[in-house]
Amino acid sequence: NKSVIFLASPTEYPVPGKHFAVETRKLNTELKENDVLIRNLFLSLDPYLRGRMRDSHIESYIPSFQIGQPMVSGGVSEVTESKNLAFPVGSIVTGTIGWEEYTLVSGGQDLRVIPDARESKIPLSAYVGVLGMPGMTAYSSLKLIGQLKAGETIFISAAAGAVGQLVGQMAKRQGLRVIGSVGSDDKVDFLLNELKFDAAFNYKKGSILENLKAAAPKGIDIYYENVGGEQLEAALEVLNVHGRILACGMVSQYNTPTPYGVKNLMNIVGKRITIRGFFVTELAEECEADFAKDVGSWLIKGEIIYREDIAEGLDSAPEAFVGMLQGKNFGKQVVKIADL
Ligand code: NDP
C-alpha cells in the first residue's frame, strides 16, 4: 500500500523526502465490525494541513500528525470491503482518508456516501472542492457571518484559490463590488476575464497598499482574509469606517518562524473595525442543506466556475502540497490517486 508518511516537523516550507515521503507498506485488511476498506481516488491538499505537521508538543485546535504514520486529509474513495451496513461495497464516499492507496477506516469514522456518484455529471473531485470543505467555507462564512449588502466593496486575498474564487463569485451574486489579490498575472487574468471580478492585482508587483488603493477608490467595506501579513496591513489602511474583516486564514504565516508584525493596528480603533475569525467546522451544520441546494444548482447551471489543479498520482502529493503553499496551484489543489 503506497502511502505518504509524515517524518518530521518543518520550521519553514516542508521538504519532500525530509519531512514527508512516499513509502510502500503492508496493509492490514482485517476488518472488525463496522470497519470499511476504501480505495482512494482523490485527495485534498489544504493549507491547514501544514499546521498538522507541527511539533506534537505544540497545542492547537487540531491534532498534529504522528511521526511514522501516513498523513491524512479529506478525500473521495470507493468502498472495496465493508463490515458496515451504511457503506456497501461499491459505494463512493467522502471523508477523512490517508494519503495512501487504500485506507482501513475504523468504524466508518466520518465517511459519508455521495448519492448517485457514478451516474452524476459532477466530477468526483468536486466533493473535496466546490461541493466540499472549501466550498462550504466560502458559503457558510458569507451566509452566516458576512452580512453582505449589495453595493459594498469586498477585497479577497488568495482570490484564485480553493476558497477565494468562490467567495468572489458568491459576493458578486449578491451585488458587491469584488476586488481580488493573487500571486501571478495569469491569476489576475482569470479573476478579471473568467470570474468577472471588478478589479484584481498581483501582490508581488509594486506596492500592495498602492495597488489596493487604486483598485478601491471608495475604500473597502469587507476584507476576506486568507493570507495575513502585508496584505492585512494594507487592508487595515483601506478599510472604511465600520469595516469588517472575515478572518478565514493567514497562509503567508504558516511556513515562517518569524511572524510578520502588522504595524497599523490602531486602525481597528480609529475606524471601529470588526475582526471575526471562524472555523468552517463550526459553521457547516447550520447551512448543510442550503449549501447542497444552492451551490449544487449554481454549478449544474454553469452559474459558478470552479477551477481545480489536479496532480497525477500519489507520488506527486508531497511536491504538490509544497507547491500549493507557495502558490504554484492554480485553483483548488487536488491529487488524483486512482481512476474509478
Ligand atoms: P488556496 O487554494 O488559496 O492555496 C493557497 C494559496 O495561498 C496559494 O495558491 C497562494 O496563492 C497563496 N499564498 C501562499 N503563500 C502566500 C504568501 N506568502 N502571501 C500571499 N499569498 C500566499 O488555499 P485555500 O483556498 O484552501 O485556503 C485559503 C485560506 O483559507 C488559507 O489561509 C486557509 O488556511 C484558509 N481556510 C480556512 C478555513 C476555516 O475554516 N477558517 C477552511 C479552509 C481554508 P497566490 O498565488 O495568489 O499567492
Per-residue pLDDT tens over the stretch 28-56? 999 999 999 999 999 999 999 999 999 99
Distance in Å, CA 324 to ligand 1 centroid: 8
Strand partners, 95: 75
Share of the chain above pLDDT 90, in %: 99
Q: How high is the pLDDT of residue 288?
A: 95
Q: Which three cell numbers stand for residue 140?
A: 457558510
Q: What is the pLDDT of residues 73-128, one digit of tens each?
A: 999 999 999 999 999 999 999 999 999 999 999 999 999 999 999 999 899 999 99
CATH code at 2-128+308-336: 3.90.180.10
In CATH, 133-280 is 3.40.50.2000: no
Residues with beta carbon inside 6 Å of ligand 1? Answer: 46-48, 134, 137, 158, 160-164, 182-184, 187, 226-227, 248-252, 278-280, 324-325, 327, 329, 332-333
CA distance 195 to 214: 20
Q: How high is the pLDDT of residue 5?
A: 98
Domain definitions of the chain by residue range: 2-128+308-336, 133-280
Lookup result for grid cell 476586488: 179
Residue 289, helix vs strand vs coil: helix
Question: pLDDT-derived band of residue 132, with 50, 70 and 90 as boundaries?
Answer: very high
| Poorest-pLDDT segment among 25-29, 268-272, 279-283 | 25-29
Question: pLDDT-derived band of residue 229, with 50, 70 and 90 as boundaries?
Answer: very high
